[in-house]
Every structure is written in structure tokens, then in C-alpha cells.
Amino acid sequence: MDVREQDKIDKLMVQELDGTQNEWGWCKSKLGANAILAVSMAVCRAGAAASEMPLYQYIAKISGHPTDKFVMPVPALNVINGGSHAGNRLACQEFMILPVGASSFKEAMIIGAEVYHTLKTCIKKKYGQDACNVGDEGGFAPNVQDNNEALDVLMDAIKKSGHEGKVKIGTDVAASEFYNAETKLYDMDFKNPDSAPEMKKTAKELMEVYKGWLAQYPFVSIEDPFDQDDWEAYKMCMDEVGKDQQIVGDDLLVTNPNRIKKALEVGACNALLLKVNQIGSITEAIEAATMSQKAGWGVMVSHRSGETEDSFIADLVVGLRTGQIKTGAPCRSERLAKYNQLIRIEEELGPLCSFAGSNFRHP
């Protein structure tokens, strides 16, 4: 087989060599998604080399996107960590900044880094030096008691850095982490064994909390606002705020084309979080992204909390023209590897690329 036959090689591995299936499709339980993906990514890189193209251009070619004009993504930089990623009391797993007002990817990274370091100063002053320790993805994990307090500190940093108006906010709530399937309640103080009854919210009450945030802070994106199987709550969320907000499915969709189909039928969200090692092959990742883009959804390419210094997803986000990438704070080498590769790609492309900016959902 020729290395340029990405779909055939992936199909051979997934459907013939592995061949295992469950209710959501090919589950790769024989060879494992990590092993299949490693080969799939190697084949993609080899295909690019054989075609004498940069990796991002080759990905654009095999996914049916233009190969002469490209869009650089808006980075969603995770600057405050909570939830299961940190030892503080925050229920939300991530608060992110999106420098949509920048004119280029390079400027977006400058703005992001300036806000990040200003945030460090604000946190150190308010909570002490210990609070400047970073979480899995490079964000700070100060001992804040609630989400509004974290958002206030973040807004203070955005103002003090001089970038107010250019920077929007996103969050990954990761609500499945604090949902109780028996009581059907969301515990906003789930890391406290003596959590007060008023901290346990129904889906409707939690929706009111989100609406309060949207009224007070410049939000543009909310990821996993409800439990991964709470389809009704997602539909309610879309009906109430989906017109103005990006509602991203991560735990809800797990980059799976069958779950994306269900979400489209239900009207559960309007954006996909694309994680290549969730689905396990480049061909299936392209299929998931294409299906979402054709439906008018946004697509945010994402890292994982446990990462390596591989920068494949930087080329992927440019090749698939998704307009947005989430790969941690401007800190820790395994996060910066992706951002540095994107800066290199932008320099290489010059006038052949534009920056997604405020059109990051539909570049």
C-alpha cells in the first residue's frame, strides 16, 4: 500500500486487523486506539513527505480543503484550572481566554502570554506564592472558593494587561465530574465532603448559573455544561443560549461520528471538541470534523491533559481549517510545542493565511 492512501490504511487497521465494535462503532479494543493512532499519524506524516508538502497542506488536501489559502486558529488558552485537574475548590475544570481581537496568531499568543503573566501577579498578590503553582495544562490553580471569584480575578488580569475588549472567555465545565446519576443533581462543591445542600443543583438551576455568568462576563464558549448523557439538559441549553454561545461537546461526543449524529438529531450542541486519540485514527478524526462543519457547527481541535511534545494537532487545525485550538496555557513545553509550531506555520505561509479572529466558529 502507498503511504498516501491514508483512508485505506486506517480502514485496514480499524476494520480488518482490529475489527472490534460496540454500540458507538469501531471500538479498537484489540489493538488499542493509541497503537492505531501512532501508525495513522506516522502514515500521515509519511504521506506528506511523499507528496512533498508540509503536513498542514497535506491534511488540507486529504480532507478536501483548499491547499492555497489557510486560516490560523484562535488559541483558547487555559489559564485557570479547577475540577479534577486541580486541588482547589473550583467545580469548573478550565477557564480559558480567547484573544479574538488579535490581528494574527502571533499577536494572539503575545496577548495570551501577557494576560497569563498579569494573572500570575494578581493571583500572587491575592492568594500568595503557593497559588502560582500550575495544573496539568499549565493554568494556575489558586485556592478560590467559587467560579465567580475565579472569573473576577481573570477579568482583573485582562483589564490590567491592557487587552480588555480583545479577549473573550471560555470554560470547560466538565459537568460529568460532579453529576450524581442517582439524585440527578450537580454538586458545585463536589470536592468538599460536607458540601451544602444549596450547592447541589438541578440541570435547570445550573442553567441559571450559566446565564448569570453570560450576563456578567464576556463568554463566547461553554464546553460540557451538563453530564455526558443528559441530552435533555443540552437541548435546553441550546434553546436558551445556543444562538449567541458556542456550546461544545467533549464528553458528550467523544469525537465519535455516531454520537455527533445523535447530537445533530437532538439539537444538543453546536460545536465539536476534536481529540484525535479519542477516536483513534486520522481518517475518523477528519470524518468527525467534516460532519460537524457540514452541519454548520464549530470545531475546536484539542490536546489532552496528559500530553507529549508532538505537535501534530497544530498542523491538523490549520489543515482542517477549524479556526480554533485548545492546547493549554502559554506554559509547559508539551503545550508550547503546539503554539510554537503554529507560529512557524504562520511565518511560513505569510500572505497565504489569515487569522480567524472573531469568526473562529465559522472561519
* Residue 172 confidence (pLDDT): 97
Does residue 107 contact residue 119 with C-beta atoms inside 8 Å?
Answer: no
Helices vs. strands in the chain: H and E counts, helices first = 12, 16
The kind and range of the H/E element at 172 are: strand 168-172
* Residue 240 confidence (pLDDT): 97
Q: Flag residues of the chain having pLDDT under 50.
A: none
Query: 267: phi > 0 → left, psi -120 to 50 → alpha, else beta; which?
Result: left
* Residue 47 confidence (pLDDT): 99
Residue ranges and CATH numbers for the domains of the chain are: 6-52 (no CATH), 61-359 (3.20.20.120)
* Residue 207 confidence (pLDDT): 98
Q: What is the mean pLDDT of the chain?
A: 96
- The Cα–Cα gap between 237 and 213 comes to 14
Query: 271: phi > 0 → left, psi -120 to 50 → alpha, else beta; which?
Result: beta
* Number of Cα atoms under 13 Å in the Cβ half of residue 39: 17
* Residue 217 confidence (pLDDT): 98
List, by residue number, the catalytic residues.
137, 275
* Residue 354 confidence (pLDDT): 98
* Residue 287 confidence (pLDDT): 96
Instruction: List alpha helices for the chain, DSSP H.
Output: 6-11, 33-50, 55-62, 105-127, 147-160, 203-216, 231-241, 257-266, 276-279, 282-294, 312-319, 333-349
- The Cα–Cα gap between 159 and 171 comes to 19
- The Cα–Cα gap between 194 and 285 comes to 42
Burial of 28 (0-12, 13-18, 19+ CB in 10 A): buried
- The Cα–Cα gap between 169 and 87 comes to 22
Does residue 195 contact residue 187 with C-beta atoms inside 8 Å?
Answer: yes
